[in-house]
Amino acid sequence: MPHYQGSCHCGAVRFAYEGETIERGLRCNCSICARKGAMMSSEIIPPERLHIEAREGTLGLYQFGAATARHFFCRECGIYPFHQTARKPDHYRVNLGCVEGVDTFALECDLFDGKHLL
């Protein structure tokens, strides 16, 4: 499996993981994802495969609604690098725009209808 590295814009939050070859992305139409506009990984990453490093006090957390999903962001630059999913708690999707060497504008993407989940 390929090894990927990524970070927020300022580098205070970094992550690395081994996963499937990135060939597509995923966009969600729920209220927060539509506003972020980020393209997420299609792959759901188990917690033991995602290694997170963050300078003390820089990793912020935002939750809403049922507070099942955990949306992380850098408190210094505001970028969303990854989140824990609502459908598979404690598992992650990463923001492909934060992954080194990935051009999200060259990727096709699928739509996840998070707007209409119960």
Question: pLDDT digit string (tens) for 39-55?
Answer: 999 999 999 999 999 99
Q: Are 54 and 73 in contact (CB under 8 A)?
A: no
Question: pLDDT digit string (tens) for 55-70?
Answer: 999 999 998 877 778 9
Question: pLDDT digit string (tens) for 3-46?
Answer: 999 999 999 999 999 999 999 999 999 888 899 899 999 999 99
Longest dimension (CA), the chain: 36
Question: pLDDT digit string (tens) for 88-110?
Answer: 889 999 999 999 999 999 999 99
- What is the value of pTM for the model shown? 0.92
Give the integer Cα–Cα distance in Å for 96 and 39. Answer: 6
Place of tokens 């506003």: 35
CATH class of 3-109: mainly beta
